[in-house]
Structure 1
């Protein structure tokens, strides 16, 4: 761990070099800042917004929703339409509740 040594600060303040605005390491001029902003824009990370339909369809993925979907497929395969309707209703209600909760959480972060 011990090789992360930083250089020591000078003990005497007179040994600290003064800031020189003409020095290229000092920073950008106001003109350079304006030009850079007009060419490149602000230095911000743009987070793409997830469409609501993707947020809704995401509710049908995951371990439990896939198990419920498999149960619906099995019930339709054995021609048990009542169970299929109940299972499908459970799946849609679960997706609606999950979408509502995730949408509220997303809005609270914005």
Structure 2
């Protein structure tokens, strides 16, 4: 049996498994920018992850992009939500520039 990705809204096959399937993880966040989907962080093997994956639907491919500065699991994307730090409350935040592919740290957010 071949394993891969399926769109559950229309049961359409999206493609085979790829590099993003290397390690099982949960608690990641999803964001969309410029027609691409980004999968950020998550929790694997008892630690928060810094990894970021980008899915390009035109190319039907996942690629790992520059990691975040801090490992984050169950975090918020697309804005700031006070008191939602994931597994461990964090006062830090980061912003991603899809044009450069780089992360920048934002000023500390005090609770």
Higher relative CO (CA 8 A, sep ≥ 6), structure 1 or 2? 1
Which of the pair is proportionally richer in helix? 1
Higher-strand-fraction structure: 2
Larger gyration radius, structure 1 or structure 2: 1
